[in-house]
Amino acid sequence: MKKIIATVEIWKEGGMFTAYCPEMDVASCGHTSEEAKKNLREVIEIQLEETAMLGTLNDFLAEAGYAVEDEVLKIEKKIVGFEELSISIGA
């Protein structure tokens, strides 16, 4: 069985947390960051199962940037940080 390494971004807005996987462009939410990550894992598992049933799993993974021939699927590019950037607009 192959294993996928995915990036998870966690955001908080109001009382909810959003977990987002940029490689696969899927997201889920929850009342805690852990719940959001758990829900995201379920969304990714469903996405992988559905694309496998449709026969498009390798295409989906390749489009996301994964090398599908590897046993552990991971993407070479990695997020190394987030920063806020202040930009002036207008006159």
Which domains can be identified in the chain, with CATH numbers?
A: 3-73 (3.30.160)
Higher-confidence position of 41 and 67: 41
Q: What is the pLDDT, as a whole number, of residue 80? A: 80
User: With contact defined as beta carbons under 8 Å apart, do 38 and 19 qualify?
Assistant: no
Q: Report the half-sphere exposure of 55 (CA within 13 A, side-chain side).
A: 0
Q: What is the pLDDT, as a whole number, of residue 65? A: 87
Q: Is residue 65 classed as helix, strand or coil in its secondary structure?
A: coil
Chain centroid to Cα 52, Å, comes to: 18
Q: Taking 90 as the threshold, does the pLDDT of residue 34 lie above it?
A: yes
Q: pLDDT digits over 52-91, tens only?
A: 999 999 899 989 888 877 677 877 777 788 788 889 998 7
Q: Give backbone dihedrals phi and psi of 43, rounded to 5 degrees, phi first.
A: -60, -45
